[in-house]
Structure 1
Amino acid sequence: MKKHFTVSTLAGAAALVALNIVITRFLSVTVGPVRIGFGFLPIAFGSMLYGPVVGTISALVADVLGAVIQGAGYWPGFGLSAALYGLTYGLFLYGRKKSCKNIAACVILQAIVIDAFLGALWYYIYTSMTFPVALTGRSINALVMIPVKIVMIQYLWKYVGARVEKIRN
């Protein structure tokens, strides 16, 4: 476990958490259950650089702090989803080739399980929205974001992430 929590890793993860909060909470557009933004990038990069453990913790911390800073209140269901994003990015992409196939597999799994199903479940439980309505909204959001996530992760990793990874090693 000591390998995961070096000063360098904690500093990098903290910077990515801060970046996630700014992008997600202040630079995203939310319409009903649909949020369109690029807050996934810092979590994806943190998980890809530092692994699933640090990615999971970073995503959860970003969700909790973001909710507190925004004043929206915190709900654990959304925190679980955030943690699962960090975990899946880490499991699919940490120490592995950042190929379009691997990125697509990760993003499509997230879209189906986390975005559509769990997202709809959390909205159903947290609000008065019916499950089919929430599922429709979350599914539309997931479908729109799949190609965006794949292209953005692959492109930015190629030009930024790979260089950062070389510097770290």
Structure 2
Amino acid sequence: MEKMMHTVKLSAQEMRKTSVVTIGGVLIAISVVLSFFKVPLGPTLQISFASLPIAAGGMLFGPFVGAVIGFVSDLLGFIVRPNGFFFPGFTLNAILIGVFYGFFFYKRKVTLLNVILSSLLVTLVINLGLTTLWLSMMYGDAFIVLLGARVLKNVLLFPIDTALLFMILKIMEDLRHRFKIS
């Protein structure tokens, strides 16, 4: 727990750097733009890659900055292009994505095993757990009914999401070393 708090403190200190705020802003903009390109699969099912820049922000600057990037991305995405009504649970999801990837990859080497494990954690906790709960609360459908279709979607997309995440994080890792970011 002490190590986690130290990581959060280091990450919070990153916000003092102009380069972090600038790169964070670019990642937020990319996330907002990617949120425009959702593929609807049904009323409660869609495919989106807007979380990839949030994951990159967490990886580059840690869980605190990743959380800020997730928070701002979600709010700006809703303001720029509202889709239904605002629900704060999805903002929490975006924050947690930044936090999870921040803890997994901040100041650490990106390995395929860590990408698989972090992707599995996000899939189980956020995609299947929290998102299904939020949708159940919003639409009044039974959690277990929504979970069936969500499990199928996430099982099919897991290899694609993981491969994309691995490629993005490896590119970010290379940029981090090349430009001495963090």
Matched, 1:124 2:140: no
1:7 aligned partner: 18
Structure 2 counterparts to residues 139-154 of structure 1, below 5 A:
139-154=151-166
Matched, 1:104 2:116: yes
Deviation at 1:68, TM superposition (A): 1.7
1:27 aligned partner: 37
**What letter is aligned with 1:17?**
I
SS in 2 for 1:51: helix
Per-residue CA shift, 1:36-82, capped at 9, x if unaligned? 13212111111111111000111011111111211233211111111
Q: In terms of mean alpha carbon deviation, does 70-79 or 89-98 score higher? A: 70-79
**What letter is aligned with 2:37?**
L
Per-residue CA shift, 1:110-140, capped at 9, x if unaligned? 1111100111100011113221222123222
The TM-score with structure 2 as length reference comes to 0.85
Q: In terms of mean alpha carbon deviation, does 106-115 or 27-36 score higher? A: 27-36
Q: Matches of 1:110 and 1:2 in 2, distance apart?
A: 25
Q: In terms of mean alpha carbon deviation, does 145-154 or 85-94 score higher? A: 145-154
Cα pair 2:59 2:169 within 8 Å, conserved = no
Of the three residues 34, 37, 52, the one matched with 2:48 is 37
Cα pair 1:120 1:134 within 8 Å, conserved = yes
Cα pair 1:20 1:62 within 8 Å, conserved = yes
1:51 aligned partner: 62
| Structure 2 segments unaligned to the other structure (5+ residues) | 1-11
Cα pair 1:30 1:36 within 8 Å, conserved = yes
Question: Aligned in 2, Cα 1:66/1:88: closer, same or farther, shift over 3 Å?
Answer: same
The TM-score with structure 1 as length reference comes to 0.91
- Give the number of equivalent residue pairs: 167
| Structure 1 segments unaligned to the other structure (5+ residues) | none
Q: Matches of 1:129 and 1:96 in 2, distance apart?
A: 41
Q: Matches of 1:56 and 1:111 in 2, distance apart?
A: 17
Cα pair 2:128 2:151 within 8 Å, conserved = yes
Q: Matches of 1:145 and 1:85 in 2, distance apart?
A: 17
Q: Matches of 1:129 and 1:135 in 2, distance apart?
A: 10
SS in 1 for 2:158: helix
Structure 2 counterparts to residues 71-82 of structure 1, below 5 A:
71-72=82-83, 73-82=85-94
Extract structure 1 runs of 4+ deviating beyond 6 A: none
